[in-house]
Amino acid sequence: MELDRYDKQILEILTHEDINLNELSERISLSVSSVHRRIKHLIETNVMTHLKRDINYEKLGFKLHVILQVSLSKHDTDTFAKFLEELENIPEVINAFLVTGQTADFLVEVVAKDMENYSEILLKRIGKIEHVVALHSSFVIKEYNHVFNCTGLLSKV
């Protein structure tokens, strides 16, 4: 897909800032309706999946942020689909990635209020899902995703 300079500006700003349509339109010198139309098009063409606002889970009482590696005993589309369906029933699961090149099949992003809460999520819920054979937790100490700049990447589009 070809992006013009306005689309690139919209993506750059939305990647780094929580901004409303009025502010965004002023920053890139386009009307609010034009910006809205462009964002809608970016979503419809799957360049953007949605206007996601980052949630500060820690402010909501979720003190632990965990990247969980999950290995399954079967590797087929039905098993993966059932696993993901089970994860959808666990509200503390905020993201999941099917991966290759690791010992894990999935990386699952989880938030928890404390270690006791995480233990319950891990052992009584995720660990009980059919075909789960191994779990490995990595605790996030600090997140750096907001410091990276996608301008260089967008210039290659």
CB-based contacts of 95, cutoff 8 Å, min separation 6: 108, 109
Nearest to 12 by CA among 157, 149, 156: 149
More reliable by pLDDT, 44 or 148: 44
* Band of residue 144 on the pLDDT scale cut at 50, 70, 90: confident
The secondary structure element, H or E, covering residue 102 is none
Q: Does domain 57-139 have CATH number 3.90.1150.10?
A: no
Please report, for the chain, the start and end positions of each structural domain, with discontinuous segments joined by +: 5-53, 57-139
The model's pLDDT over 55-71, given as tens digits with 9 standing for 90+, comes to 778 888 999 999 999 99
Dihedral sign, CA of 118, 121, 124, 130? negative
Percent of the chain past pLDDT 70, that is, above it, reads 88
* Choices 3.40.50.2300, 1.10.10.10, 3.30.460.80, 1.10.287.40: CATH for 5-53: 1.10.10.10
Q: What is the pLDDT of residue 49?
A: 77
Q: Over 70: is that where the pLDDT of 52 sits?
A: no
Q: DSSP state, 104? A: -
More reliable by pLDDT, 99 or 157: 99
pTM (2 decimals)? 0.72
Q: Give me the residues paired with residue 137 across strands.
A: 68
Q: Residue 43, SS3? A: helix
The model's pLDDT over 100-117, given as tens digits with 9 standing for 90+, comes to 987 899 999 999 999 999
Sheet holding 132-139, edge to edge: 93-98, 106-112, 64-72, 132-139
Q: What is the pLDDT of residue 35?
A: 93
